[in-house]
């Protein structure tokens, strides 16, 4: 997963839509890899909070219609609190992600970003009451082993860029938990729009404190980042509408391939076998967690349908 992604809930898919789902996910991966490549190109001359703020401020232009709709039909207080909490947490994560992107290889940022689903599973068990069975615990440990393979603590120095991305992953996971809570209260377009607004407001004081006016070239590049990121959120939504997450999740591994190519071709970054192996371990773990979640949801739907049928039968007999 390229980090800074929004993962909407998966919708049941018809068999004929699976190919479309895979296609949308391929497009999503390309869009997010191009986005990370642009941020890498901008480098560290522009402070991370400033670059992140401009990216989200420009992104508001793409979601303005949805924001107008929210203002016309204001949500309740709890929904506002969820919007605000998510915007703040996600904004902090984006600062860390921008910081990491300017300092470590594109493939390494992408690989470490795949740990977000692992943290989502842990947080869902802690705060949403979801059961954490032995197989999921093993999958989490395997994913963390993949992180260790990439970082190789004790064999290489862990720099500020790696630490920033490691801290960003659980924050993005918290953002996703907020998104899961919001899906019962708002439409996907509204959730994405309020994320853009919340991040912009969160990033504003950080950007002011470190303000450095971007050059025209940097401003244009960041405008492209906003365009690619917003389009990527939309294509990601389409992917999950067309096919289950168990089908589309493995496709995201191709982002590692593309990120490695972008890093090698455009930035002269060497292909690190440890990053490739570690990311494969992490993605395998994340895919297994997603597969188990989809299976659990299916079993829950069957149980609910069975209970409803039984209740209906009992009412018929009583009548």
One-character DSSP codes across 55-119: HHHHHHHHHHHHHHHHHHS---HHHHHHHHHHHHHHHHHHHHHHHHHTTS-HHHHHHHHTTHHHH
| Res. 1: pLDDT tops 70 | no
Q: Give the pLDDT band (50/70/90) at residue 2.
A: very low
Q: Which of these ranges, 74-78, 144-148, 177-181, 244-248, has the smallest mean pLDDT?
A: 244-248
Q: In the predicted model, what is the mean pLDDT of residues 20-29?
A: 86
| Res. 121: pLDDT tops 80 | no
User: What pLDDT shows up at residue 313?
Assistant: 54
The whole-angstrom separation of Cα 235 and Cα 11 is 14
| Res. 15: pLDDT tops 90 | no
Tell me the chain's radius of gyration from C-alpha atoms.
20
Q: Which residue has the tokens 């994340």?
A: 286
Q: For all residues of the chain together, what is the average pLDDT?
A: 81
Burial of 45 (0-12, 13-18, 19+ CB in 10 A): exposed
Q: Give the pLDDT band (50/70/90) at residue 156.
A: low
Helix, strand, coil % over all residues of the chain, rounded to 5: 80, 0, 20
More confident residue, 45 or 241: 45
Q: In the predicted model, what is the mean pLDDT of residues 30-50?
A: 90
Structure tokens at 311: 């209740």
Q: Return the closest-CA partner of residue 203 out of 295, 116, 99.
A: 99
Contact present, 112 and 162 (Cβ < 8 Å): yes
Q: Phi then psi for 153, rounded to 5 degrees?
A: -60, 135
Q: What is the DSSP letter of 156?
A: B
| Res. 13: pLDDT tops 50 | no
pLDDT digits (tens, 9 = 90+) for 275-307: 888 878 877 777 777 676 667 666 666 666 665
User: What pLDDT shows up at residue 9?
Assistant: 44
User: What pLDDT shows up at residue 245?
Assistant: 60
Q: Give the pLDDT band (50/70/90) at residue 81.
A: very high
User: What pLDDT shows up at residue 188?
Assistant: 78
Q: How many CA atoms lie within 13 A of 316 on its CB side?
A: 6
Q: In the predicted model, what is the mean pLDDT of residues 175-186?
A: 82
Q: Give the pLDDT band (50/70/90) at residue 192.
A: confident
pLDDT digits (tens, 9 = 90+) for 234-280: 787 777 678 766 566 667 767 777 888 888 888 898 888 888 888 78
The whole-angstrom separation of Cα 242 and Cα 75 is 28
Contact present, 246 and 290 (Cβ < 8 Å): yes
Q: In the predicted model, what is the mean pLDDT of residues 101-110?
A: 85
Q: Give the pLDDT band (50/70/90) at residue 309.
A: low
First to last CA, the chain: 54
| Res. 26: pLDDT tops 50 | yes
Q: Which residue has the tokens 């190519």?
A: 261
Q: Which residue has the tokens 């377009």?
A: 189
More confident residue, 163 or 295: 163
Q: What is the DSSP letter of 190?
A: H
């Amino acid at each position: 997963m390229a980090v800074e992604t929004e993962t909407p809930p998966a919708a049941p898919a018809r068999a004929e839509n699976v190919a479309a789902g895979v296609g949308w996910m391929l497009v999503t991966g390309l869009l997010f890899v191009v986005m990370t490549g642009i941020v890498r190109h901008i480098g560290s001359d522009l402070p991370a909070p400033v670059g992140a703020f401009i990216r989200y401020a420009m992104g508001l232009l793409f979601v303005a219609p949805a924001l107008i709709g929210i203002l016309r039909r204001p949500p309740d207080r709890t929904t506002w609190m969820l919007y605000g909490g998510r915007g703040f947490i996600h904004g902090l994560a984006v600062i860390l992600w921008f910081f990491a992107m300017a300092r470590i290889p594109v493939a390494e940022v992408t690989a470490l970003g795949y740990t977000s689903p692992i943290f989502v599973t842990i947080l869902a068990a802690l705060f949403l009451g979801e059961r954490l069975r032995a197989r999921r615990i093993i999958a989490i440990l395997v994913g963390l082993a993949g992180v260790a393979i990439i970082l190789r603590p004790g064999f290489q120095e862990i720099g500020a860029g790696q630490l920033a991305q490691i801290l960003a992953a659980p924050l993005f996971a918290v953002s996703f938990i907020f998104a899961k809570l919001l899906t019962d209260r708002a439409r996907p377009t509204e959730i994405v729009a309020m994320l853009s607004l919340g991040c912009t407001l969160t990033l504003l004081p950080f950007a002011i404190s470190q303000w450095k006016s971007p050059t025209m070239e940097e401003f244009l590049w960041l405008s492209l980042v906003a365009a690619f990121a917003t389009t990527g959120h939309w294509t990601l939504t389409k992917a999950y509408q067309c096919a289950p997450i168990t089908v589309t999740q493995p496709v995201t591994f191709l982002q590692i391939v593309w990120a490695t190519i972008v890093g090698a071709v455009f930035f002269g970054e060497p292909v690190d076998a440890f990053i490739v192996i570690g990311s494969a371990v992490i993605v395998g773990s994340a895919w297994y967690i997603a597969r188990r979640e989809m299976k659990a949801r299916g079993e829950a739907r069957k149980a609910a349908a069975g209970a409803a049928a039984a209740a209906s039968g009992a009412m018929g007999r009583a009548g």
